[in-house]
Structure 1
């Protein structure tokens, strides 16, 4: 009589096994939709070079009742001012408010009084886009010359002068900036090459 319980267990097991197996897999040879390809990682932003920093202390100057930083280009034609954590702006030396005379620059921009006039400065604010403005760069008496291939980095901005490209300034917060000379301009910062003399 011992065989009956074993026989019953085997029959029960045979009934349960088909219920435990999964459904039959049918392969129709159709391609399976692939997962979306991963998007390419954003290109790493290039950090501006610190290889040719000027001593900012030598460029400190009183600007509108506070300490700012200013320089004149080696040619003596342009003057730039960094108002700490506010803006970097460049215009004709002497703060005369004269039109910039940059090839390709707009002929008129909105002035501080709402009327349009010729641009007298190119600037980049701490968090804004580079732009031409009809407000003169603060006039300073004989700011020091920033030599070619030296970078004045201070108070959230950096500027440099290069013989081949002109004057360039950058907001370190946004990475936006400008490069200009009398021959033209671009709304991008041009860094001093690390191997520059």
Structure 2
């Protein structure tokens, strides 16, 4: 096995795996509350400048199959979040994927049950037309189909709402007011995060969605089960973001990576793979996000 250190250690980029929302046309209106912003979000408090239209996808590729109540949904590349824009409800939001349970993000409040039961941790973060972003409890799966993956640094925009996916998290907003939210595995903000201007310009680019053709543990999921960070003993979620790699191959590659003596470097190469570390000081306590790509077009992410 040949190990090549590609570049010296550098500041680690803020990241959190990306994201999920269960939204569908048949659901009841949800009980909600504004809540309190997380004390340790993984996104910057200063929204970067953004370029318009260069990162947009074809919304039709993300539409549900119900012609009477169309919703537009997507899964983040990390497999963590499912998000949707529902024109009939005038709402955009995100929820945990694939379980649709509590969001599992620091600082998320309990909100009343839509059926009058005891309060519970919210399972959706959303922004509705003319309202402040908030947390809600939904009692039904509201996106009716298996959603396509929305690639990093792209935007789904339809019917007055926009959502984008970045390494720092997933964001949605109401276009007329710019009110929205950003959520990641380590925190949230009631503030939309635009894609930075570093995205190359030159005219609108239509990015085709994809569904990863790989062995899946659950319907609509490309998650391969956890690995454990040797230095912390904490689990990390393994997701095959791109390619035809099997789950056992992804686990074997990460096991080899963990055994490498120089794996703490921001970028590390071995056996045709290049792995990058990213994370903030808070996520470092439980393990950095690892993003690995190989020369065959496979991409694997392990995130705390």
Q: By how many angstroms is 1:63 displaced?
A: 5.9
1:84 and 2:84 aligned: no
Equivalence map 1:80-119=2 (5 Å): 80-84=83-87, 86-94=90-98, 96-106=99-109, 108-115=110-117, 116-119=119-122
Q: By how many angstroms is 1:89 displaced?
A: 1.3
The match for 2:20 is none
1:145 and 2:149 aligned: yes
Specify which of 142, 145, 170 is matched with residue 167 of structure 1.
170
- Secondary structure of the 1:58 match is helix
Q: By how many angstroms is 1:123 displaced?
A: 0.4
TM-score by length of structure 2 reads 0.46
CA distance change for structure 1 residues 152 and 162 in 2, over 3 Å: closer, same or farther?
same
Q: By how many angstroms is 1:78 displaced?
A: 0.8
Q: By how many angstroms is 1:195 displaced?
A: 2.0
TM-score by length of structure 1 reads 0.69
1:120 and 2:123 aligned: yes
CA distance change for structure 1 residues 160 and 196 in 2, over 3 Å: closer, same or farther?
same
1:157 and 2:161 aligned: yes
Distance of 2:194 and 2:51 partners within structure 1:
6
Distance of 1:91 and 1:134 partners within structure 2:
10
Deviations 1:18-64 (A, max 9, x none): xxxxxxxxxxxxxxxxxxxxxxxxxxxx8873221111111111469
Q: By how many angstroms is 1:142 displaced?
A: 2.3
1:176 and 2:179 aligned: yes
Taking CA–CA contacts closer than 8 Å with sequence separation of 6 or more, which of the two structures ends up with the larger relative contact order? 2
Structure 2: 5+ residue stretches without partners: 1-48, 201-304
Specify which of 132, 142, 157 is matched with residue 129 of structure 1.
132
Question: Is the CA contact 1:81–1:137 (under 8 Å) kept in the aligned structure 2?
Answer: no
Q: By how many angstroms is 1:93 displaced?
A: 1.9
Q: By how many angstroms is 1:194 displaced?
A: 2.6
CA distance change for structure 1 residues 103 and 67 in 2, over 3 Å: closer, same or farther?
same
Distance of 1:48 and 1:123 partners within structure 2:
24
Question: Is the CA contact 1:146–1:161 (under 8 Å) kept in the aligned structure 2?
Answer: yes
Equivalence map 1:53-64=2 (5 Å): 53-62=56-65
Deviations 1:152-174 (A, max 9, x none): 011110000101x2000000122
Question: Number of residue pairs matched?
Answer: 149
The match for 1:194 is 197
Q: CA RMSD in A?
A: 2.1
- Secondary structure of the 2:83 match is strand
CA distance change for structure 1 residues 137 and 117 in 2, over 3 Å: closer, same or farther?
same
Deviations 1:56-87 (A, max 9, x none): 11111146941110000001111001001610
Distance of 2:101 and 2:176 partners within structure 1:
30
Structure 1 segments, 4+ long, off by >3 Å, are 62-65
